[in-house]
Structure 1
Amino acid sequence: MASYTVPITADVLTWAREEAGLTQAELAERVKTDVERLQAWEKAECSPTRGQFSKLVKALKRPSALFFLPQPPRDAGMPTALRKAPGLGDRRLSPNEIDQIRWARRLQGLMGWVLRDAGTPKVELANYRTVDDPLQVARAERSASGVNAAEQIKWATPAVAFRAWRSYLEDQGILVLQLSMGKDSIRGFSAWDDFAPMVAVNTAYHPTARIFTLFHEVAHLLTRTDAACQSFVIPGQQSASVERWCERFAAAFLLPADDLRQVAQAYGITAASPTDDPDTARRIAKKFSVSTRATAIRLQELDLAKPTLYPAVASQLAGHDWNAPGGGGGGRRASLKRIGQLGTRLPGTLMEAMGRGRLTTRDLADHLKLTTGQLEDLKGELVGS
């Protein structure tokens, strides 16, 4: 019996493969074919069989109808600002990272449309330039937050601190996502939208590192620079870069100068007696529920630490950046998992739009990656929260 072929659009196949972050060899392996045959499909020299087409759709995680478009869709791909962000260096985003970013951007787009449709005003975040002093910007933004250091120090655990900062940012109109991107993947990413600005952090990191990354990404929003960020920036390196600007902002926002000096003094640390001890920096960091990296940056900014402190923290305490193995919450109900990932504002707003008839149950379940039954569970959780 003859094998029927599927007349897909070659340029769309190439676009979908590149958007998925796969080389021709990687996709060929997933489809169980040879590279030469895949290259022939991308050159429109031949077409895949029905079985091969099904494997392509599954491997590329795209609807089958996409491959019959006359050309790749506009505004549906990975933004260049994220794919080639300075914070990535020469590193290529992995397929999992691309999947997570694409899902987040899809949710952001839906949220932006729902808020516009409801007549919600644009989000009024301040707009700075990277030539502005990040320490002064951090001081102004921290003052505007209304969160004082005494309140911050009272937060019982880093997880409590993260929830408090997330709630504050959601009140400002910022979407805050926690996504599973794996160890040694990007720390987080950010993307501006007038109605639904978004930041996301990687759950592989410890909550203190996530808090530092959270405000690093907020700094990108404040400068309107969409970004995907991989590594921590060592003080003194890339001093003029936007990544360094964001690191300095985040450290200064989380550790107000006067309050940090007061706590440091209790440990015998002053400008006349700066520290180079990573363990002392770690104890101070614990007081503020922030990462030791952020604390080292800030202590050095205030001349309370020797220049050797941050390198010592980065080498000796790097393991503290990550969550301990296990305990990932894999057994939680899907509805609770979505709240952990997306917060309450995003799904709550989309639920309201569904209640107004602006979204169908099926569409919302699809966007949230839930069944309709799990969507009902989520609705109950949001009502009770």
Structure 2
Amino acid sequence: MQIKINTQLIDWAIERSAKSVDDLMHKFPNLENWQNQTKSPTLKQLENFAKATFTPIGMLFLQEPPNEVLPINDFRTFTNNEQKKPSVNLLDVIYASQQRQEWYQNYVRQQDIGTVSIVGKYTTSDNPEVVAQEIVAYFDFHHNFKNWQTALSTRSTLIEEKGILVMSSGIVSGNTHRELDLTEFRGFALSDKYAPVIFINAKDTIAARNFTLMHELAHIAIAENGVSNTNAYNKNSNDTEKWCDKVAAEILVPRAQFKQKYSHNLSNLDKNLDQFARHFKVSTLVILGRIYSLGYFEEESFWVLFHAEKNRLLEIIAQQPKKKGGGDYYNSKPTSVSKLFMKTITGSALEGQTLYREAMRLLSVKKIKVFNNLTEQAHPWST
């Protein structure tokens, strides 16, 4: 049985998937016929087309293409202040995170665990340095880390111990063919007093991810949902983003501590940037911003140096060989969905409170053997 649909929806689905017509033609030889209405797809063909273009099947039965917008605030800034239309990958990773958040929120309320006290405790009218110092005390952050990865994982663990889900992935729902675009976003925050969520784009450098984690934590502290593409400093950012940047910078590189250690000498600037970036486990851009905040640069000079350093880092990243393979699945999976979420939902399934198929759906796991292995990893005592 053939299904008549608006051909504009076929074009829309292709465009939002970011796949070429030529690529899709290999799987759907009649695609052009569907587009020019000389043929219509069968229901099975339409279902397969929806899957191939990452489109909910119901959307293909609409009268006209929908105007998809971000379900949370858009704090991103781009060239000439243009707002970029969200990709299907960004939308899907937000939707998946919201579904996990909803499940965890219900769990927390049912178990009477209580709320996360840091959520909404502050406003952007508060002094960012004072807020940063109080956040450091609340989470018991410190600065003695042997490397950037240890800094990120330790801080993530401390944040999760307070009930905030921290997710970090470079792909959508475990699909290695759907990589997240770093130029589109670096992270987002889903604020909720019971189940706040921080998501970090793992395509970023480890140093940048440390900053994004703190930036999104600042969003949680003011109970502000939103997606960001901040890279430490952006003169076109709105006031909320600038405030969150200041909080993040103070957490990672405390002004008083930095001022005590830093001896300004322009001839040794490159050496200083690298030295302090290694010490505080941040990017050289954050250190450059800290030097500027101490009043050692005029604004115009700072932005010239900032963009030069940013371009230098981008060149280094571009020259690095692309990593092959997906790494250790059982190590990366808990991080991608939040270690806290993984442990909680698998434990709930073990206790019979959550159906296995529901837990597997929320974890984006298709095989029961994989789910059992993840459960055993999260709960060694269960075997």
Contact kept, 8 Å, 1:188 with 1:217, in 2: the verdict is yes
Question: Offset at 1:342?
Answer: 2.7
Contact kept, 8 Å, 2:169 with 2:201, in 1: the verdict is yes
Contact kept, 8 Å, 2:168 with 2:200, in 1: the verdict is yes
Contact kept, 8 Å, 1:78 with 1:102, in 2: the verdict is no
Q: Whole-Å Cα distance in 2 between the matches of residues 198 and 209 of structure 1? A: 19
Is the aligned partner of 1:362 residue 2:357? yes
Question: Offset at 1:48?
Answer: 4.2
Sequence identity percentage: 20
Q: SS of the residue aligned with 1:190?
A: strand
Q: Which residue is equivalent to 1:43?
A: none
Contact kept, 8 Å, 1:205 with 1:322, in 2: the verdict is no
Q: Which residue is equivalent to 2:269?
A: 277
Q: Whole-Å Cα distance in 1 between the matches of residues 349 and 358 of structure 2? A: 9
Is the aligned partner of 1:109 residue 2:105? no
**AA at the equivalent of 2:337:** L
Q: Which residue is equivalent to 1:340?
A: 335
Q: 1:140 aligns with which of 112, 115, 134?
A: 134
Contact kept, 8 Å, 1:191 with 1:197, in 2: the verdict is yes
Q: SS of the residue aligned with 2:118?
A: coil
Is the aligned partner of 1:230 residue 2:229? yes
Question: Offset at 1:319?
Answer: 4.3
Q: Whole-Å Cα distance in 2 between the matches of residues 369 and 329 of structure 1? A: 19
Distance 1:256 1:231, change over 3 A: closer
Deviations 1:155-204 (A, max 9, x none): 11111111111011111211111111244341111111222111111111
Q: SS of the residue aligned with 1:277?
A: helix
Q: Whole-Å Cα distance in 1 between the matches of residues 356 and 138 of structure 2? A: 39
Output the TM-score relative to the length of structure 2: 0.78
Is the aligned partner of 1:162 residue 2:162? no
Q: 1:262 aligns with which of 255, 260, 266?
A: 260
Distance 1:26 1:195, change over 3 A: farther
Contact kept, 8 Å, 1:219 with 1:246, in 2: the verdict is yes
- In the TM superposition, 1:196-235 aligns within 5 A as 196-232=195-231, 234=233
Q: 2:310 aligns with which of 306, 314, 323?
A: 314
Question: Offset at 1:245?
Answer: 1.8
Q: Which residue is equivalent to 2:186?
A: 187
Q: SS of the residue aligned with 2:124?
A: coil
Deviations 1:255-305 (A, max 9, x none): 1112112332xxx33xxx578824421210110111111222222112255
Question: Which ranges of structure 2 fall in alignment gaps of 5 or more residues?
Answer: 171-179
Deviations 1:71-116 (A, max 9, x none): 99xxxx864325x444464222222222322222222222222222
**AA at the equivalent of 2:2:** T
Aligned residues: 358
- In the TM superposition, 1:86-101 aligns within 5 A as 86-87=76-77, 89-101=82-94
Contact kept, 8 Å, 2:131 with 2:247, in 1: the verdict is yes
**AA at the equivalent of 1:238:** N
CA RMSD across the alignment: 3.8
Q: Which residue is equivalent to 1:246?
A: 244
**AA at the equivalent of 1:117:** Q
**AA at the equivalent of 2:72:** A
Question: Offset at 1:119?
Answer: 2.1
Q: Whole-Å Cα distance in 2 between the matches of residues 159 and 38 of structure 1? A: 49
Q: SS of the residue aligned with 1:377?
A: helix
Worse-matched range after superposition: 374-383 or 100-109: 100-109
Output the TM-score relative to the length of structure 1: 0.78
